[in-house]
Amino acid sequence: MLIEDHIGLFAESPLRGPNDAMCGPRLPDQSHVYDPVWRALAASCAADLAIPLHSGVYAWCRGPQYETPAEIRLLERLGVDAVGMSTVPEAIAAVHGGMKVLAISCITNMAAGILDQPLDHDEVMQVGRQASAATIRLLSALLNRTGEERT
């Protein structure tokens, strides 16, 4: 999933604590964390390669446990398309440092309460391994295309 925005209300910000102004402003703008130019380029590369790539809103939950069915129902009502325990703190820190961000998440499982079976971390890892070839193709195409645009 191509992350177009995120919700990170339920975990502590990576910027909490003293700010080093050399790293970025105390209160960085979060209006466009995920760069629209990079997102469009990634979507174009995925289309060229016939790799399904949906866009959506990602919710960052602290973990390390999976979310509960009640949490998933709440997040669905908030407009969330996918949930995970990573990506968002790194994106926030990158924006704080003035970087442009592209985030693509490999969706490996249905959230708690969606299916009538428990979540299995081994299955999550297996799906991630299965998706790795397409992910590598997509990222390689994206990097090649950005290199072409620079020349």
Report, as residue numbers or ranges, the catalytic residues: 67
Residue 124, classed as helix, strand or coil, is helix
Q: Count Cβ neighbours within 10 Å for each residue of 63-82 and write b for 16 or more, e otherwise.
A: eeebbeeebbeebeeeebbb
- 84: β partners: 60
The verdict on whether omega for the bond into residue 69 sits within 30 degrees of 0, i.e. cis, is no
**Could you give the CA distance from residue 35 to residue 4 in angstroms, rounded to a whole number?**
8
Measured between alpha carbons, how far is residue 92 from residues 4, 13, 78 in Å?
A: 13, 8, 20
Which residues share a beta bridge with 55? 2
